[in-house]
Amino acid sequence: MPEPFDQTLRATVDRTVRELTDRLSRQLADAARVRTSRWLGGVRAIDAAASLSQALDALLVAASGEAERVAILVGGDALRGWRSHGFGEVDPATLTTTAADLRALPAASESYALAPADESRQPPFARGHGLRLALALEVSVEGKPVAILYADAPPPGPGASAPLWPGALEMLTRHTSRVLETLMVRQAAQLSVSR
């Protein structure tokens, strides 16, 4: 027959486990709400853009809330930075690379579990910080790239789940592409009406 002390101890342990489980559930729900709100804010800012530069600015701001370092690069085979976040006090135009350098990185985050890229696989401007999870996503209009979003962050620690930022950036980049296509259609319609 269990001692009364054992029953009291068991009840205390059970209550503590329930309280901790409830607190963790609330914290996870709060974090999910914050993340969703941040993503929705990024989508709304991109929607409000009236030009290519405004859309890319909104994408950069939204992306900088997800990954440690982000840069928007423009150009053809020789790419140069247009805007950046997290690279320190550097002129974004000094963030140069080639399209070939970025082809070594994942172009889509299908698994959302990127393999860390050692420095030899990173674009030259991103080197010097060890292993990074890195991603390069095209902003395209009618299938033609107009910019590339580069993003990276340190890999998660042992036992940590896959980061969510790659999927968020893919969503934001795809949305930016659709908004830019809509802007082009509107501009073309305005031109034809004015003629």
CATH of the domain at 132: 3.30.450.40
- What pLDDT sits at residue 111? 46
Quote the CA–CA distance of 128 and 114 in Å, as a whole number.
19
Is residue 10 one of the residues assigned to a domain? no
What are the structure tokens assigned to 81, written together?
């930075």
Count of domains for the chain: 1
Is residue 12 one of the residues assigned to a domain? no
Render each residue's pLDDT in the chain as its tens digit; 195 residues: 556 668 888 888 878 888 777 777 777 776 667 788 888 999 999 999 999 999 999 999 999 999 999 999 998 889 999 999 999 888 988 899 988 888 777 666 554 556 676 777 888 888 888 888 888 999 999 888 899 999 999 988 888 888 889 999 999 999 999 999 999 888 777 766 666
Quote the CA–CA distance of 117 and 151 in Å, as a whole number.
12
Quote the CA–CA distance of 169 and 167 in Å, as a whole number.
5
Is residue 90 one of the residues assigned to a domain? yes
Is residue 8 one of the residues assigned to a domain? no
Give the up-direction half-sphere exposure of residue 183: CA atoms within 13 A in the CB hemisphere.
19
Q: Are strands 69-75 and 144-153 parallel, antiparallel or unpaired?
A: antiparallel
Is residue 180 one of the residues assigned to a domain? yes
Is residue 98 one of the residues assigned to a domain? yes
DSSP-based three-state secondary structure for 5: helix
Q: What's the predicted TM-score (pTM) here?
A: 0.81
- What pLDDT sits at residue 192? 67
Is residue 57 one of the residues assigned to a domain? yes
Q: Residue 38: give the domain boundaries.
A: 30-194
Is residue 109 one of the residues assigned to a domain? yes
- What pLDDT sits at residue 110? 53
